[in-house]
Chain A
Amino acid sequence: MSSIVTAERLSKTFQVKVRDPGLRGALRALFRPHYRDVLAVRDVTFGIDPGEIVAFLGPNGAGKTTTLKMLAGLLYPTGGRVEVAGFIPWTGGPAFKRRIALVLGNRQQLVWDLPPEETFLLNRAIYDVGDGDYRERLAELVALLELGDVLQKPVRQLSLGERMKCELVASLLHRPPLLFLDEPTLGLDVTAQDAIRRFLIEYRDRHGATVLLTSHYMQDVTALASRVLMINRGRLLYDGALEALVARIARTKRIELVLGGGDGNRVTAEALAAFGEVKSFHFPNAVLEVRREDAPTMSARLLAALPVADLSIEDPPIEEVIRLAFARGGEEDE
């Protein structure tokens, strides 16, 4: 399958004015401004196939939103090559923009003082959506996002979750094959986050859309993305499936135990420590950490030696894996 998004050695450098603190610094900056180059994105290369849901992962300021904005044609790359849906985004013009949707979690396009339907009607005109298509797509999106009774309320009276759902409707009326979502679940409660995630998967399955998103929420990534692009300090640290990342980064596994046995022969923490590092122990529950390759043999030994009621082998929490990955990526960078 040929890629719908290709980035080769994509780079973006911002010039940032630096000034010393205080009045003297301000004056000096006025007459002799100093600039510092900030390498927001450095030599990032990847390709994305149609229908994929890919998540950009990284801390604040890592360069993930900058990358997304270059793909959407908002920012001018300082180096490298990028092709999206057959276009160079920066020069793609209206034909390119009809092929994409850009949803920004913190900057909304809905007209604040009017009901969301007015923004939908505006976008119908801007994207030249026919009346029949408009009605059909609006009905579908409203049903999928369960938006029935909010369309006539002014946007300023909607909850954050309702606004984000309406934002998605406004961005998808022209049925773009490619969605760029920057923090689509930012600030939403768990129910609303979940509704957005289920919607995105359903929408992809129905229309074969490709979805690229950035998010702080690990849940977004684990629930949605078949693939992650991990970015830190402008560099691509990892590109692949989340499970493979965990396997590569996490050198340990967790054995979660529910212990049996009565009060007389209670298992002690000392007894458990012989099998691995005890991460937590509140009888009858215990969590042990062991080397990844030792997990099967340790489990067998545990079962043989202790009164075990239940045992499961888990990867460490994904947040911890990511933290490890960034820490390691940072070290390589120094």
Chain B
Amino acid sequence: MIRRYAALIRNAWLVDLQYRASIVLWLLWGVTEPAIALGIWWAIAGDGSVAGYARADFARYFFAVMLINQLTIAWDSWYLDRWIRDGELNFRLARPLHPAHEAVAENLAYKARTASVILVVWLVVAVAWPAVRLPFAPGRWAITAVAVVLAAAMRFFISFTTGLLAFWTTRATAIMELHAGVSLFLAGRIAPLALLPPAVAGIAGVLWFRSMLAFPVDLLTGTVQGTDAILRGLGGQIVWLGVWILAYRVAWSRGIRKYGAVGG
């Protein structure tokens, strides 16, 4: 299986190299949204703070969002939608390798290249700008790595499962867009969850949105403190990951039976 993943990731990178300009565009896209959010909160915070967040806290928060969002984001619903509607799923089903493996390999390839660039950018900026530096805490970083893996796995299954809706509807990507819109607020992409009205933040915590992004970000910046809070956060991630894996399994086994194998 390692050899297969190596071959899939190699091909993904080779294709990337054909489209160097689009890599730059995607990177800019990944950086712009948190940068704009940071700019707004920077102005609002002024010399004081908002709900306990001073300028330096916002800076660290959004640099962490930038990195962790790129490490956990998944585009699979778009791929799946195309595979199913255009019949590109056909040859993938005829191979002795589940199509999900190709999707996972694509994710690894994408994440490795974008996240590594963002990490370098962060390090360079941190040299000049102390506000975005994180305290040295290897233990916390290790736990964050676990939370990032859980979040990435969950976002993969969310995206893949939503893409599988293309077996039934032509609006699968629209549903994914809607989810992305909601997660803009509930996952903490434009503001730390602490700044949301308590009821809204509560919904984000009960559903899977906090587990997607805000929780690993808060872990990395040190906002989540105490073994209890960390374990509850990881527990929530594991539960929601389980739910989405289950949803994926149901959608796959039903959808594949319904599949019309477009063409001919």
Contacts and interface: CB of A to CB of B under 8 A. Distances in A.
Query: Do A and B come from the same complex?
Result: yes
A126 B102 CA distance: 10
Contact of A100 (B8, B19, B94): B94
B264 interface: yes
Given A102-B91, A107-B91, A127-B96, A122 B8 contact: yes
Nearest to A106: B263
Interface in B57-109: 86-88, 90-97
Contacts of B181: none
Given A118-B11, A122-B8, A76 B263 contact: no
A74 B7 CA distance: 24
A95 B97 CA distance: 10
- Contact-residue size bin, chain B (C-beta under 8 Å from the other chain): 20 to 34
Interface string B243-264: 0000000000000110111011
A182 interface: yes
Given A104-B87, A127-B95, 13 more contacts: A66-B261, A93-B96, A104-B91, A104-B263, A106-B87, A106-B263, A109-B92, A113-B14, A113-B18, A121-B7, A126-B97, A128-B3, A182-B264
B4 interface: yes
B6 interface: yes
A102 B7 CA distance: 21
Interface residues of A, number: 41
B94 A97 contact: yes
B15 interface: yes
Interface string A108-130: 11010110001101111111100
Contact of A76 (B8, B19, B256): B256
12 contacts: A68-B264, A74-B90, A74-B261, A75-B259, A93-B96, A97-B94, A104-B91, A106-B264, A122-B11, A125-B3, A126-B95, A126-B97
A65 interface: yes
A125 B91 CA distance: 16
Interface in A172-216: 182-183, 214
Contact of A65 (B11, B14, B95, B263): B263
Interface of A: 14, 64-66, 68-69, 72-76, 93-95, 97-98, 100-102, 104, 106-109, 111, 113-114, 118-119, 121-128, 154, 182-183, 214
Given A74-B261, A125-B3, A127-B96, A107 B14 contact: no
Contacts of A123: 95
A126 B105 CA distance: 13
Contacts of B92: 109
B114 to A, nearest CB: 19
A267 B223 CA distance: 105
Contacts of B8: 122, 125
Contacts of B261: 66, 69, 74-75
Contacts of B86: 107
B11 A126 contact: no
A113 B15 contact: yes
Contacts of B259: 74-76
A125 B7 contact: yes
Nearest to A167: B91
B94 A94 contact: no
A140 B10 CA distance: 26
Nearest to B2: A125
Nearest to A180: B94
Contacts of B97: 94, 126
B96 A183 contact: no
A97 B94 CA distance: 6
Contacts of A64: 264
Interface in B1-32: 3-4, 6-8, 10-11, 14-15, 18-19
A107 B264 CA distance: 11
A23 B18 CA distance: 44
